[in-house]
Structure 1
Amino acid sequence: MHSVTAIVVAHDGARWLKETLEAVLRQSRPLDRVAGVDNGSRDGSGRILTEAFGPSSVLSMSRSTGFGEAVHEVVRRLPRASGQEWLWLLHDDCAPDAHALRALLHAADQNPKAAILGPKLRDWLDRRVLLEIGVTVGRSGRRDTGLEPREYDQGQHDGTHGVLDVLSVSTAGMLIRREVWEELAGLDPRLPLFRDDLDLCWRARVAGHRVLNVTDAVAWHAEAASRRRRRIAASDDHPRRIDRRNALFVVMANLPFWALVRSVFRNITGSLVRTVLFVLAKQPANALDEIAALGSVLGHPGRLFKARKERKKGRKQGYPAVARLFTPPGATWRRLADMIQRYLAGEGPVDSAGRHHAAAASSEDEGDELLTDSGLFQRMSSSPGVWLCVLLLAVTVAAEWSLFAGGLLGGGALVPVTGGASDLWRLYVENHHSAGLGSDTWAPPYVAVLAALSTIFFGKTWLAVSVLLLGCVPLAGLSAYVATRRMITYTPARVWLAATYALLPVATGVVASGRVGTALVFVLIPVYAALATRVVAGSRRAAWGFGLLLAIGTAFAPLVYVVVAILGGLAAVSFGGIRRGVGVSLAIGLGTPIVLLFPWLAEIVREPRRILLESGLADPSLADPRLGADALLMLNPGGPGTPPVWVTAGLVAVALGALLLRRHQTVVAIGWGVTLFGVLLAVVVSRLAEWPGVPLAFAATGLLVATALTAHRITEFRAAGGPRRAGALLIVIVAFATPLAAAGLWIVGGAGGPLRGDLRDPVPPLSAAWSPNGERTLLMRPEGGRLAYTLLSGRAPFIGESDLRAPAADTARVGTAVAGLASGRGGGDVQILAAYGVQFVTVPGPVDVALQRSLDSEPALVRVSLSETGGLWRVAGTVTVPKPPSGGDGWHRTWLWAQAALVALVLVLASPGARTAEQQEDYGDAPAPARPSRRRPKNPEEQVPA
């Protein structure tokens, strides 16, 4: 014989309480007793309770009373009843179905060991959405419901007998034996709200009782406290902080000792990761809650020790009884990936309650099933962008096959790639550089960018450079396809734009000439275009991201900033008076590179010619001094690796045809304006004997965007039939002729040029072995009638060292000595070089005969070896290795710290910021249900059960 007492606790819940009480009193299995507790409500909840239960059945308590304390007070005053006595705990925002109690008691009869039972919980507003069918928890305290976000109840989780063995059920509708309540001392008063149900059920499980969720019993729950639909008076802390703190406390209080030790380290690490993501998402309050919750638990070890001692007394079966109900470890990794994905998508980090996430179920099989995501594979395999990248990658591999020779990658503007990420970081932060003649100038900022990329690629600089340079074609295609998704909605046009952009003559010329800087800029330009459209709309976050990426591009090619600054000034004039905040956003975007690169940009301004240069070796032979106007008009920068001029004729023809369309005239005009500006700037750069790849890349971007935005008109022509249909087919053929021709010619001709993949280490092994004290090796290279030389300090030069400036007097003196040595004029040239630490002279093979004779005729040089691979001579006299200056540049180190802080700040400001799910509901933009409930709600936040 069962005796049931329903206990309803209310706190400012008048808007739900009436419906809750009606649902409680109309149960098909009548209640034996009812009791109500009003925790200091100010909205009339106490009056509603009194009207429903009577004055003698309602207890009034202070406003700061927690749920567990209120129930304890009722049970303390409640006389015992005959038979099997049950306590039915209900929140004021939880309305049970009319048959809920009958289903719970039936399940208790079928399962005699069941001490705690709970109903299936559905959402209060959308009555079909599942909230809980029992709850499990991860070892980090993260709450799992086993449900997908906004999953509808279709009986898919009901099981064969309508009951589920679970770790915990909610106190919203919890049915518990009174004897078990008293045995376990009920809800822990140290947990006034949130996670008190998990703690009680966990203690019941390890005490040998069963906890069941009865899926035949249904209740609708508004979750008013966790969704912040009412003020919480039981604590002054934020609900998120309370929830996280209590979660950590419950897990650490109930786990066995060694599992506790692992949990402490796991939670410290996890909290730091989540804090960083909250900061990046510009949610400092949530980040503070995360850290404060961890500190609150670990900072009071006495309270935790006392709780563990209390729980140890009631433990009978121990930890293994509940371990199988925990979240499977694999699902934790899935949640972390989901958290990062939500952050990158701008949805904000996951919330600590876990209600809106794909969580783990209570079995290992279900947890493993959660790790599979066939939908992701299907989306990727059916995406035109993915197939485009695959095709571009195949074209790239076919064209660049000769560059995968197994040696060092170098040639043209690229020094042979040696060293690792640590070497580049050291080069960037050190005050004095020993490379060459030695230099006290600061390393160029692109060294830090390459160091960061090399760190990402497992410390391998050669891998980072290979991906960036050799993979710039597929990377540029992916960048163009993704960046234009908001501007161009017609998918075939996006595919054409991305393919054409990726295979422009600029791209093939970049690879052949070894221009790492332009390769990176070429990949970033579509992103610049996409962000620029948001900057002119006044987006501050886009402005910070644009400024950071512009700083990266400027570090490799300063001309990028000149192009963007002029276009930005024109945009400010055009849109500044139309859209609010455009001026500030443009100022942020254009000012960020100046701040981040200030010392280096100041040097560039003092030498304006350097604006036209890019990272790497300055080799005049890489630019075509006789570049004609036809090449520039066809967006061909000339130089090694570029195709014939006519390859881009199809692109220009289609773009000219876009001018004839009456619609989108403004867009087409802007695109053509950018194109003409880029071409004019390319003319100036080419006449200054520099490579015009950067301005032509901007020009091509404007042309492609203007053309692709009008491409959807093709469907109208095709639908019209007749001559228009034929014309549409002709336009498509002409448009795709450019990427197809460019790809075919690139594969046939190969990507060879100055860039090679079979270079050897320029430092001979003998000279490296015989230079124990840092003696230098003079590398002499006859190139096109002139003699180039490099001083090597026992190793090959790193990327970025070619941009270091030695003292002008030392450079002139050594240059004169090298010229004299090569000419065979004799004198004290060798002694001058020996004074600068030169121990060896090497010439790569095949060695020029005249140069060999000059070196052999020098009495102070002794030939060590001579072969087809090169020659090596040793200085016979005493060599003096210059010592680096003592001390350091304090301003340099201060700026490095300031620069790191500024980069971190800009990253935070540029990161996606988002509201959590509860905040979205508060602001009224939570996902709407598929269709409304069948009954009209009594007020905007309330609906009765369907």
Structure 2
Amino acid sequence: MARPYVTAIVVAHDGGRWLGETLQALAGQSRRPDRVAGVDNGSRDGSADLLVQTLGRGNLISLPRSTGFGESVAAALERMPSAGPDEWIWLLHDDCAPDRRALEALLVAAQYHPKAAVLGPKLRDWLDRRRLLEVGVTVGRTGRRDTGLEPREFDQGQHDGTHDVLSVSTAGMLIRRDVWEQVGGLDPFFPLFRDDLDLCWRVRNAGHQVLNVTAAVAWHAEAAARRRRRITVSGDHPRRLDRRNAIFVVMANLPFGAMLWALLRNVVGSAFRTLLFVVSKQPANALDEMVAMASILVHPLRLLRARRARRPPGNRQSRKKAYIRIRRLMTPRGAAWRRLTDMVQSFLAGQAPVDSAGRHHHSTAEEEEHELPPPDTGAVKRFLSRPGVVLLLALTAVSLAAERSLLGGERLGGGALVPVTGDAGDLWAFYTEGFHDVGLGSSAWAPPYVAVLAALSTLALGKTWLAVSVLLLGSVPLAGASAYLATRHVIPAVPARAWAAGTYALLPVATGAIAAGRLGTAVVFVLLPLYASFGTVLLSGERRRARRAAWGLGLLLAVGTAFVPLVYPLFAVLGVLAALAFGGVRRGVVTSMVIALAVPVVLLLPWLASLVADPGRILLEAGLHDPALADPVLAPESLLALSPGGPGLPPFWVTAGLVTAALAALLMRRQRMIVAIGWGIALYGMLAAILVSRVTVEGARVWPGVPLAFAGTGLLVLVGLTAHRLAELRAGGGLRRLGATAVVAVAFSTPLLAAGFWVANGVRGPLVGDAPDVLPALAASYSKNGERTLVIKGSAFTVLHARTPLIGEAELPADPDARARVRAAAQGLAGGRGGDAATLAQHGIAMVAVAPPVSAELAKRLDSQPSLQRMSLSDAGGLWRLTEPVKRVPAQPESALHTPWLWMQGALVLVAALLAAPGRRPSEGVESSSAALAGA
């Protein structure tokens, strides 16, 4: 072969850890370069001295630390004039050591493929010399880098050969100098990351080939991509820079039509990745994702100039053919689904979401493991086979089967749940207004849980019914998921975790809350495992993480208190006891607990002040308070079976397996402290349930669902933590084996019996999917100028305006004197004693509606009243209009504190969320939770 001229360029930047081996490999090449230049970008670790010792001072170029790789190569080529038409440039990183015959193999391949202008070696890992890194690189339309290799794939010759690829790495890249100058070299806009992809894409657009030659081998440390050295070429974070460059390369090189579609996919994909990062407590990565996408969107002219510079030569038909050739080398379209499922799978597994380069954010130690990868069974199959996913799908299927009578209805309501109407805008307006023109009018603070529902409804595209349905009807799978995730660092055995989460989700508290429409209990039931998880981290003693957990716990505790105020005193007692127990041995525990308990008080201060004025309301929860929803007397066996009474509950023997397993734990000689703590929490919850169930507030017994949920949590964690002892007993043989097997079988009977009973009987309670409209349509059509309607149902009454009340409106306290006068007038009309119609008219009431069924006797009484005129009477109810002139009730001025407090409340929520959500490593939770558990 004719001997081509080779110019080798080595670029170094704080690479002394690898540079010596790289230079030794360069000097030992079987086909040596004709000239060599070294470029040092302000290294501070002696890299410049190594270059001088090996290459000579005349062959060293020193540049500032902020110089990018492309600028470094360009500076070296400016000092070395072209050696003729057959000159090749060989680019080497300071952390890339080529094999002895690497350059020779690249040149041989160039001879056999005259159209090839760029050739790259097969790259292996620097530490594990058997592991493959690259045999060519391609990219998808979302900018995701794809090597086509399996995770940790070993080189066994399975990819050998010379292949036509979209791109090769600049680590070991061999490129013709005339082609380099033709396409303009590496774009300085990419100081690091994706500069090789952009260069190779432009080379292919110019009509040349890009080849990967596996006969040439190089070992690459990927020091910049793996964060093994400080990046100083840009002010951006490395991941942010990588993601920005990835999107920009695709947007700049695709045809216009394909670019628009790819832009839309990138915007949606970035939003989804940002959400995953936020939910997995990685706000730094979420910020990088948002900033990277924003940097593309806010500089359209920069993108336009780049597209103009990269436009392939020739007419439209030739450009189309060039793109078709490139499209065949890009990531197939079907891979998008696999990437999406991998991201969700990584999140559910507690790992960091995959970045744009296809890498998880692992530590260096994890990257340096030398283990064979497990066989790839497919992303979807792996995702669906995870225990947590199986549990979630099973609970969802059970819930859908049991709630079959509630699905597909027009309006969810009944029991404690007001028929769901309105949208997110209506809820926001109700929460922010100072005077509520509902019922008899009220200037009291709106219940704070209305803001939570309004926020969730906003996320649900304004659909309040969807947000309420997910929270209430989906509380069983949501509780199972939260329990499974919350116990991942507390209960080490996966089967025990799945059993505990499934059993918790199907406790009688959950099915009873759904049947009675108790939205507040359903929300707290989902949050309770998270309280336990945050509390464990708070007690860990690691100050920084404990403070973040305290802020997060405070926010979630504020949400639970907004729905069920009883949650706060129940948790406060446990929090004070924990602070007293751990405060003397672990620094900062008392301060963290004070933060967790203070956040709900500060956020809910005005509303909580109204509860202090009427202490009985602390025992109530969100929704209506119907006396028929709670049992007058709670039987002892119900308490022991964690059954709070009311409609929709299974028999006591359904949960007998859980209690039996917890009692069996008392017989164990080991882990007595865990057994004592678990039973202590359980007895605490049962005692609280006994106390609150004997209290009557607003004519209704208090439902002890939340205290029994506390008790159930204590028993489940107790059994889950002692499950490994049962496995040890089963391995021992004899009577111990028989007894342990019996306990396991009894324990597993609880979720199975609960699910079977619930599916077989369905939701048995007042909650229905087609709740009737409380206000008759005729009354709504005649309600003008703020006129009100008195609705009578049995011995109860309510005052409505031109619509069915929103969630939370029925809980506003009214003027007791006005309510007493209206009640007396309503009872007089219904009893035939002659009601005071003038009193109704004074309060703006223009119509009297009777909910079905309307008895003939009641209709006759109302017809006999001279102040009433019948408008309609049917099976759907009756409606009468007052003949008295109705007084318009003026709106009352709102409190001067109302609007400023709403702004302050929003700012406090934002500050608390920011303090609670700094990034963390996935391993931190294991260490701290294990430490807290060991301390307990």
- Shorter-chain TM-score bucket reads 0.7 to 0.9
Q: Provide the residue aligned with 1:526 in structure 2.
A: 529
Residue 419 (structure 2) aligned to one of 408, 416, 420: 416
Q: Provide the residue aligned with 2:704 in structure 1.
A: 692
Residue 823 (structure 2) aligned to one of 815, 818, 826: 815
Give 1:333 shift: 6.9
Q: Indicate whether 1:536 and 2:539 are aligned.
A: yes
Describe the SS at the equivalent of 1:558.
Answer: coil
Residue 642 (structure 1) aligned to one of 628, 642, 649: 649
Q: Provide the residue aligned with 1:561 in structure 2.
A: 568
Q: Provide the residue aligned with 1:504 in structure 2.
A: 507
Q: Indicate whether 1:754 and 2:766 are aligned.
A: yes
Matches for 1:533-612 after TM superposition, within 5 Å: 533-538=536-541, 539-612=546-619
Give 1:777 shift: 2.1
Code of the residue aligned with 1:437 in structure 2: it is L
Q: Quick check: 1:714–1:728 contact (8 Å CA) kept in 2?
A: yes
Q: Provide the residue aligned with 1:205 in structure 2.
A: 204
* CA root-mean-square deviation: 3.8
Q: Provide the residue aligned with 1:2 in structure 2.
A: 3
Code of the residue aligned with 1:703 in structure 2: it is L
Q: Provide the residue aligned with 1:913 in structure 2.
A: 919
Give 1:667 shift: 0.6
Relative to structure 2, which stretch is displaced further, 684-693 or 829-838?
829-838
CA deviations 1:663-700 (Å, max 9, x no partner) are 11101111111122122222221221322222122122
CA deviations 1:607-645 (Å, max 9, x no partner) are 111111111112233232333445434433223333455
- Identity over the aligned pairs, expressed in percent? 62
Distance, in Å, in 2 between the alignment partners of 1:13 and 1:326 is 32
Give 1:348 shift: 4.7
Give 1:761 shift: 1.5
Q: Provide the residue aligned with 1:801 in structure 2.
A: 809
Describe the SS at the equivalent of 2:716.
Answer: helix
Change (3 A) 1:267 1:728: closer
Where does structure 2 lack aligned partners over 5 or more consecutive residues? 363-374, 697-701, 925-936
Give 1:101 shift: 1.5
Residue 780 (structure 1) aligned to one of 792, 798, 803: 792
Give 1:804 shift: 1.3
CA deviations 1:196-229 (Å, max 9, x no partner) are 4334323322222222222221111223344454
CA deviations 1:43-63 (Å, max 9, x no partner) are 444443344345555555666
Q: Indicate whether 1:709 and 2:708 are aligned.
A: no
Change (3 A) 1:92 1:717: closer
Distance, in Å, in 2 between the alignment partners of 1:470 and 1:303 is 50
CA deviations 1:211-255 (Å, max 9, x no partner) are 222222111122334445445565566555655565566556555
Q: Quick check: 1:150–1:356 contact (8 Å CA) kept in 2?
A: no
The structure, 1 or 2, with the larger RCO (C-alpha pairs under 8 Å, 6+ apart) is 1
Q: Quick check: 1:554–1:560 contact (8 Å CA) kept in 2?
A: yes
Q: Provide the residue aligned with 1:367 in structure 2.
A: none
Change (3 A) 1:400 1:261: closer
Distance, in Å, in 1 between the alignment partners of 2:93 and 2:133 is 15
Change (3 A) 1:530 1:770: same
TM-score for both structures, normalised by structure 2: 0.85
Distance, in Å, in 1 between the alignment partners of 2:8 and 2:484 is 61
CA deviations 1:698-723 (Å, max 9, x no partner) are 12221232233323333333333333
Q: Quick check: 1:121–1:221 contact (8 Å CA) kept in 2?
A: yes
Distance, in Å, in 1 between the alignment partners of 2:277 and 2:39 is 38
Q: Quick check: 2:42–2:65 contact (8 Å CA) kept in 1?
A: yes
Distance, in Å, in 2 between the alignment partners of 1:61 and 1:644 is 79
Q: Quick check: 1:507–1:519 contact (8 Å CA) kept in 2?
A: yes
Distance, in Å, in 2 between the alignment partners of 1:40 and 1:72 is 17
Q: Quick check: 2:352–2:360 contact (8 Å CA) kept in 1?
A: no
Q: Provide the residue aligned with 1:32 in structure 2.
A: 34
Distance, in Å, in 1 between the alignment partners of 2:465 and 2:309 is 59
Residue 894 (structure 1) aligned to one of 900, 925, 930: 900
Distance, in Å, in 1 between the alignment partners of 2:266 and 2:656 is 61
Distance, in Å, in 1 between the alignment partners of 2:186 and 2:498 is 61
TM-score for both structures, normalised by structure 1: 0.85
Q: Quick check: 2:164–2:209 contact (8 Å CA) kept in 1?
A: no
Give 1:802 shift: 1.0
Q: Provide the residue aligned with 2:163 in structure 1.
A: 163
CA deviations 1:319-357 (Å, max 9, x no partner) are 762451445566567656656665676655655555559
Describe the SS at the equivalent of 1:441.
Answer: coil
Matches for 1:872-891 after TM superposition, within 5 Å: 872-885=879-892, 889=895, 891=897
Q: Quick check: 2:206–2:312 contact (8 Å CA) kept in 1?
A: no
Describe the SS at the equivalent of 1:507.
Answer: helix
- The number of aligned residues is 896
Distance, in Å, in 2 between the alignment partners of 1:29 and 1:334 is 43
Relative to structure 2, which stretch is displaced further, 517-526 or 258-267?
258-267
Q: Provide the residue aligned with 1:925 in structure 2.
A: none
Q: Provide the residue aligned with 1:222 in structure 2.
A: 221
Matches for 1:141-156 after TM superposition, within 5 Å: 143-156=145-158
Distance, in Å, in 2 between the alignment partners of 1:393 and 1:140 is 32
Code of the residue aligned with 2:862 in structure 1: it is L
Distance, in Å, in 2 between the alignment partners of 1:475 and 1:292 is 32
Residue 735 (structure 2) aligned to one of 714, 723, 729: 723
Distance, in Å, in 2 between the alignment partners of 1:758 and 1:737 is 34
Describe the SS at the equivalent of 2:736.
Answer: helix
Give 1:438 shift: 2.1
Distance, in Å, in 1 between the alignment partners of 2:400 and 2:749 is 21
Q: Quick check: 1:124–1:220 contact (8 Å CA) kept in 2?
A: yes
Change (3 A) 1:901 1:34: same
Q: Provide the residue aligned with 1:855 in structure 2.
A: 862
Code of the residue aligned with 1:872 in structure 2: it is L
Distance, in Å, in 2 between the alignment partners of 1:599 and 1:696 is 29
Code of the residue aligned with 1:165 in structure 2: it is V
Describe the SS at the equivalent of 2:897.
Answer: helix
Distance, in Å, in 1 between the alignment partners of 2:376 and 2:866 is 74
Distance, in Å, in 1 between the alignment partners of 2:579 and 2:243 is 47
Code of the residue aligned with 1:802 in structure 2: it is A
Give 1:561 shift: 0.9
Q: Indicate whether 1:830 and 2:837 are aligned.
A: yes
Where does structure 1 lack aligned partners over 5 or more consecutive residues? 359-371, 920-946
Matches for 1:197-276 after TM superposition, within 5 Å: 197-230=196-229, 239-240=238-239, 243=242, 254=253
Q: Provide the residue aligned with 1:176 in structure 2.
A: 175
Describe the SS at the equivalent of 1:442.
Answer: coil
Distance, in Å, in 1 between the alignment partners of 2:624 and 2:470 is 20
Give 1:387 shift: 5.2
Q: Quick check: 2:9–2:89 contact (8 Å CA) kept in 1?
A: yes
Describe the SS at the equivalent of 1:841.
Answer: strand
Q: Provide the residue aligned with 1:622 in structure 2.
A: 629
Describe the SS at the equivalent of 1:759.
Answer: coil
Distance, in Å, in 1 between the alignment partners of 2:357 and 2:274 is 16
Describe the SS at the equivalent of 1:409.
Answer: coil
Relative to structure 2, which stretch is displaced further, 805-814 or 285-294?
285-294
Describe the SS at the equivalent of 2:723.
Answer: coil
Code of the residue aligned with 1:551 in structure 2: it is A
Distance, in Å, in 1 between the alignment partners of 2:131 and 2:922 is 19
Distance, in Å, in 2 between the alignment partners of 1:746 and 1:301 is 57
Q: Indicate whether 1:791 and 2:793 are aligned.
A: no
CA deviations 1:795-840 (Å, max 9, x no partner) are 222221111123334323322221222222225x223223333232
Give 1:586 shift: 1.8
Give 1:747 shift: 5.6
Q: Quick check: 2:439–2:798 contact (8 Å CA) kept in 1?
A: yes
